[in-house]
Structure 1
Amino acid sequence: PAGLAPRGRLRPAVRAVLFDLYGTLWASAAGDLDRRNPSPAPAPPGLPELLRRYGCPLSPQELAGALAAAIRRDHEGRRAEGADFPEVRIERLWAELLGLEPPQARAFAVEHEALVNPVWPMPGLRSALRSLRGQGLLLGILSNAQFYTPLLFECFLGAGARELGFREELVLYSCELGLAKPSPRLFEIARERLAAAGVPAARVLMVGNDALRDLAPARAAGFQTALFAGDARSLRGAEQAGEASAVLTDLRQLLRLLKRGRLQP
């Protein structure tokens, strides 16, 4: 817990819930994908051996520096094309840096991610999703992500996002759209798709751990917002908690908030 008390009031009643992933549904040792330390020291156990197996002559720190430079170049090129917050396809960068074919680059990316950013489900995730599925709500995801991110549902919960109740057209991953949060365009796309499903923006709740990247653009899109403060390591913007419609310290509090329309400390 991050020292904040659960509270909130939702008006009007919510009909759809969008979730961030890293720091919200998944506890992450390194944090969101683009906020982590690009050169962790000391290197995670197993990383030097991983590089050896893939024939990489660089040290973990040298490779991290090369990756950071490749990301900067990719971002600069995308910004020149008009993207406000560009997102990379990490498997393409690994293929370029290590001279790997696409299948090997994807395999390396998965192994590398598991070492540098181990994640696990937030407490109560499985039961919270099960309860939400039974309420007739539309569930979606709006998250910075890479191709391996959806695999976490199968890994930890034994089912894909769709089987867990997430609506396919409401699952928005940054790597697939080429834009990362807090790009307003991501939230506009979500708003457009929700409107097509008959849900106005005012009846949408965005749940995330980052007040700047998750909640501020969600409010600008007309959504209600809930700051997830269940993990002090990943909470961002606690000082702005008062701007959120609600604060959650456990995912299981969400069902009570949605059913009653309010949550008291």
Structure 2
Amino acid sequence: MELNFRSDIKKWLDNTEKLEPIPTTFCPNLKTDSGQKIKAVIFDIYGTLLISSSGDIDQASLSGDNMRSAMEAGGFDLQSCQPGVCTFLLDQLQEQIAIQHNELRLQGHPFPDVDIFKVWEGMFAAAEEQKLLKRSGSESLVDTIFVFEILSNKVYPMPGMKEVLNALRQKGIPLGIVSNAQFYTPIIMNYFLTGEFTPRQDIEFFDKDLSVFSFKELRAKPDTALFDPIKTTLENKYKIQASEAVFVGNDMLKDVYTATNSGLKTILFAGDERSLRLREKDARVKGMFPDFIINDLSQLTKIID
């Protein structure tokens, strides 16, 4: 869909609070003794390229104040809303997500992701039905959702993100993405990489044919189906086998497990305590180890070299 913003989203992004990673106790493992050259690098975004205040896109901190600010940005007339509308909408957010997840599971998506616009439309329709608000038709869902996200899950580039991506690109390494994400994720990434606001959905530095986002597929990691188009593009466009590519992520299940079972090498990014997910109690990752461990993105270039 075409993203038409009504408010100055760049103003919100310009006020982004700087975040610093919280160091972990993990030591890097950069040893490359297989003798096989890494020819492509595929990245996760949240917790890997972006510091996330909540640690994960799925664990945003929800508040009525953030909902109110988002609705104001979207052009809602809050004076005509009933008390309690923000609390109701927050409850509906979880309910509408659960409804979509159940529908998608019935369609054969074992790890579903939602159409966020359908979720928010359902939220506001339910609020209208309860006579908690009345829409004029001029409100903007895209603005409301975007502002709510950047207030609820504050993000900031991981140290060295832009420099590392630029260094890899200069080496001629194809760069890709497989991320649990929504429409606002590419916009936020482009802002941090270029300093400009653009609604385009392809991200600077990355091959759009090597970029897969959960919201477009309505599937989320650890669904290995997200890696199928990546493997096809690597082979057909670059003549690179999956085993010659490496996936970089912060989650042993969603990233290491999924990429390993898709045939890629893996790098566990252990550079931020907030987002490091070892999943030690999950049977699927027991006995599984990443090929490499890094605690700073700059170490990537050493592995590639």
User: If the TM-score is normalised by the length of the shorter chain, which range does it land in?
Assistant: 0.7 to 0.9
Query: What's the offset of the Cα at 1:220?
Result: 0.8
Query: What's the offset of the Cα at 1:205?
Result: 0.2
Q: In the TM superposition, what whole-angstrom CA distance separates every residue of 1:27-47 from its partner, at most 9, and x where no partner exists? A: 00123222x15x64xx37554
Mapping of residues 151-166 of structure 1, within 5 Å: 151-158=187-194, 164-166=204-206
Separation (CA, whole Å) in 2 of partners of 1:230 and 1:44: 31
When normalised by structure 2's length, the TM-score is 0.77
Secondary structure of 2:140 counterpart:
helix
User: Which of 58, 62, 68 is matched with 1:48 structurally?
Assistant: 68
What residue in structure 2 maps to residue 262 of structure 1?
none
Contact persistence 2:69–2:148 (CA under 8 A): no
Mapping of residues 47-66 of structure 1, within 5 Å: 47-51=67-71, 54=76, 55=78, 57=82, 58=84, 60-66=86-92
Of the structure 1 ranges 80-89 and 15-24, higher mean CA displacement relative to structure 2 is found in 80-89
- The answer on 1:167 being equivalent to 2:189 is no
User: Which of 27, 32, 45 is matched with 2:56 structurally?
Assistant: 32
Contact persistence 1:202–1:224 (CA under 8 A): yes
Contact persistence 1:95–1:102 (CA under 8 A): no
Secondary structure of 1:27 counterpart:
strand
Query: What's the offset of the Cα at 1:118?
Result: 1.0
Query: What's the offset of the Cα at 1:153?
Result: 2.2
- The answer on 1:228 being equivalent to 2:269 is yes
Q: In the TM superposition, what whole-angstrom CA distance separates every residue of 1:146-182 from its partner, at most 9, and x where no partner exists? A: 0110001222121678673211100101111111111
The structure having more radius of gyration, on CA atoms, is 2
Query: 1:236–1:70: structure 2 CA closer, same or farther, 3 Å change rule?
Result: same
Separation (CA, whole Å) in 1 of partners of 2:293 and 2:85: 42
Mapping of residues 193-212 of structure 1, within 5 Å: 193-197=233-237, 198-212=239-253
Q: In the TM superposition, what whole-angstrom CA distance separates every residue of 1:232-261 from its partner, at most 9, and x where no partner exists? A: 0000017579701111111111001110xx
Separation (CA, whole Å) in 2 of partners of 1:152 and 1:67: 22
Of the structure 1 ranges 85-94 and 199-208, higher mean CA displacement relative to structure 2 is found in 85-94
What residue in structure 2 maps to residue 14 of structure 1?
38
Sequence identity percentage: 33
Separation (CA, whole Å) in 2 of partners of 1:180 and 1:163: 19
What residue in structure 1 maps to residue 303 of structure 2?
257
Aligned partner letter, 2:123: L
Aligned residues: 255
| Structure 1: 5+ residue stretches without partners | 260-265
Aligned partner letter, 1:4: F
When normalised by structure 1's length, the TM-score is 0.88
Aligned partner letter, 1:70: Q
Of the structure 1 ranges 118-127 and 58-67, higher mean CA displacement relative to structure 2 is found in 58-67
- Name the one with the larger strand percent: 1
Contact persistence 1:44–1:115 (CA under 8 A): no
Q: RCO (CA 8 Å, sep 6+): is it higher in 1 or 2?
A: 1
